[in-house]
Amino acid sequence: MENTTAQRAHTFALISEDLRSEADALAAEQAPRRFAVLALDYAEQDGVILAWGLCFGDGRVVLTGETAPIRGTFGSLDSALRLFRHGEDTTYVTWVDPEPDPTPAA
């Protein structure tokens, strides 16, 4: 009996300049954007980096503390920043990489 439902697998040359170029473009397009969360003290004219972050295309954020004891993954930048909002402290986000598009890719 012959199996007529299975499709034959095609072999592709996985290492070609075109594929590498395409993979490099995909990585650049999908790369998370880096940012820093800073605490600003306007009275003292000073600031300090609280944490470094990565923002992914779907809006997820990963934070690693610099001077704040924090490490975690959050559903959004806004939810991550809630950790730093208390009293009259002023936090500020500065983008190291270009700020991501506010509308996540579908």
Helix and strand numbers, DSSP H then E, in the chain: 2, 5
Backbone angles phi, psi at 41, to 5 degrees: -120, 100
pLDDT digits 0-9 by tens, 35-75: 999 988 888 888 899 999 999 989 999 999 999 888 999 99
Question: In the chain, where are the structural domains located?
Answer: 32-95
The overall pTM is greater than 0.85:
no
Q: Where are the beta strands (DSSP E) in the chain?
A: 33-41, 46-55, 61-65, 71-74, 90-95
